[in-house]
Amino acid sequence: MKKTMMLPLVLMALMSVTVGCNKKSDDGVSIGSRTARTNSIPNQYNAQGYYYTAATGRISGNYDFESATKTFLSPTISPESIGSIDSNSVFLRGYVEVDYSGNVIANRSSISIEIRDSYAGGNDNGQTVPAIHVNMQAASGRAYGGQVDLSFRDNYATVRMVGTFSNVSGGNQFTGQITFQNNGAYQQTWGNFQIDTCGFFRCQ
């Protein structure tokens, strides 16, 4: 009888160890997966010497915006580990230089995308859960005559921004459509973007 009772006790002990090793945050998401694409590129400086630029733009979309955002992040974060996302959750920063012909100078141009889902700001064993950041280096592109077509990439996906310069609310804005293509997948529409032109491009 004594030996018979020992086996369940051992199994219970093993189960408790397994649960402890796989413990995630109180919100069900680990911090590590959120930083996997943060350091894909070195820090970029704009002409004034700041990291990226002072301007912050937005990426927004329609009814399937949350699903598209989670698909974009899926190479490094499972969708169930991401909280709810709306059109006020995704922020865009960047620094882009072009030459006199309008061609992007790739090694001096990059973007940073920040996703503040509903888990961001939560608790992970005493640590604050960060927003998700994705940094991408410019791959190719052109900005000429008010028409812009730029591509950025990291190890997991390519993001394409196609748009124009326009006056919005009294200021010059870079607006357009943003798409992405995860490695080995089809290109997918993400949504629309808007950011201050000279807060994104190096204005001569």
Percent of the chain exceeding pLDDT 90 equals 56
pLDDT tens, position by position, 116-171? 999 999 887 888 888 999 999 999 999 998 899 999 999 999 999 999 987 666 67
Confidence band for 102, pLDDT divided at 50, 70 and 90? very high
Beta bridge partners of 98: 104
Mean of per-residue pLDDT scores for the chain: 80
pLDDT tens, position by position, 6-32? 434 433 333 333 333 333 444 455 666
Planar angle of CA 21, 24, 30, nearest 5 degrees: 120
Measured CA distances, 50 to 46, 66, 86, 164 (Å)? 6, 31, 29, 25
pLDDT tens, position by position, 30-68? 666 676 676 544 444 444 444 445 689 999 999 999 999
Q: What is the pLDDT of residue 21?
A: 34
- On whether the CB atoms of residues 110 and 92 are closer than 8 A, the answer is no
| Full set of structural domains in the chain with CATH | 2-199 (2.40.128.30)
Half-sphere exposure of 121 (CA within 13 A, CB side): 5
Average pLDDT on 109-118 reads: 94
pTM: 0.78
